[in-house]
Amino acid sequence: MKISATSITNANAGALLAEGAAAIGRGDLEVDLAAVTEVDTAAIALLLEWQRQAVSRGGRLAFSGVPADIASLAKLYGVDGLLSLGENHGT
């Protein structure tokens, strides 16, 4: 699933949650975040929920194009390992 939104914030996280849930339901476990340039803490909650949904279906999400801000927030909150962001983030 390619995220076309340039931001993931509290303002649009609900809509993105539904979009991601539908993609995960179709078996799309690759998430391209390259277009995202603005985030807040809602982005981390969203990614964690998507990952939870994928795991509950026996899969695991693979993230690409991860903005440095998301990687930094995930590390700050100690959830970078749960999201398996690895080194797939921008600088």
Q: Band the pLDDT of 89: cuts 50, 70, 90.
A: low
Confidence at residue 49, expressed as pLDDT on a 0 to 100 scale:
98
Which residues sit opposite 31 in a β-bridge? 63
Confidence at residue 29, expressed as pLDDT on a 0 to 100 scale:
96
- Evaluate if residue 87 carries a pLDDT over 60: no
Where b means 16+ CB within 10 Å and e means fewer, 60-81 reads ebebebbbebbbebbeeeebbe
pTM above 0.75, yes or no: yes
Task: Give 34-58 as a 3 state SS string.
Answer: CCCCEECHHHHHHHHHHHHHHHHCC
Residues in the chain: 91
Return the domain boundaries, the chain: 7-83
- Evaluate if residue 1 carries a pLDDT over 60: yes
What fold does the segment set 7-83 form as a domain?
Transcription Regulator spoIIAA (3.30.750)
Confidence at residue 91, expressed as pLDDT on a 0 to 100 scale:
43
Structure-token pair, residue 36: 């995202």
pLDDT tens digits, residue range 32-50? 999 999 999 999 999 999 9
Average pLDDT of the residues in 37-64: 96
Confidence at residue 84, expressed as pLDDT on a 0 to 100 scale:
81
